[in-house]
Amino acid sequence: MMKEDLFSTASPTAINLKQDSVPKPKRPYKKNRAKKRMVTQAESFQINKLLEANLTPKDENGIVSFLNDMDDDKIAKAIGPHVSLYSVRHLRQEVFGVVRKVSQRKDDTDTNKLEARVAELEKNLMQISRHAVSRLTRVEEMFNKLCEEAGSSLKIKIPER
């Protein structure tokens, strides 16, 4: 059966569609693409200068962070209304790499506090383990003594700790 015959049948069970009746999908991204403007070389230079002024030097992991509550969006707005956040982010990633958010910054005092807390917890854990081992040894001795008094040949031996 030919293609024309399939669409020209008049039976109630057949689908009667014409090729032109199916709407083409809209592509809104093409409209938006025309409105986007590339960053000029002068704007790129200004962005880099602002990024240098508002980023910390790279840490041992090669990560930088913003100073003074700045971010890519604020830098884009400082350059001009036509500069997008994505343009600034792209330039920053090319030049400076990954940025750590303010909430992710390492603070030396916080690190020192955490290290002190871990040391304290390890000390407490050792004390608790020593106490548990001594109690377990005492229970072993008491059980064996009771078995001897009862005349039983049962004995327990707790493995080495």
Classify strands 99-100 and 64-65 as parallel, antiparallel or unpaired: parallel
For residues 83 and 100, the model is more confident at: 83
SS3 call for 29? helix
Res 22 pLDDT > 70: no
DSSP string, 50-93: HHHHHBPPP-TTS-EEBSTT--HHHHHHHH-TTS-HHHHHHHHH
Mean pLDDT, the chain, integer: 77
C-alpha Rg value of the chain to the nearest Å: 37
User: Looking at residues 79-91, what average pLDDT do you find?
Assistant: 88
Res 132 pLDDT > 50: yes
Res 12 pLDDT > 70: no
Q: What percent of the chain has pLDDT over 90?
A: 11
Res 32 pLDDT > 70: no
Q: What percent of the chain has pLDDT over 70?
A: 70
Res 137 pLDDT > 80: yes
Question: Are residues 102 and 66 in contact, defined by beta-carbon separation less than 8 angstroms?
Answer: yes
* Best-predicted range by mean pLDDT (84-88, 106-110, 153-157): 84-88
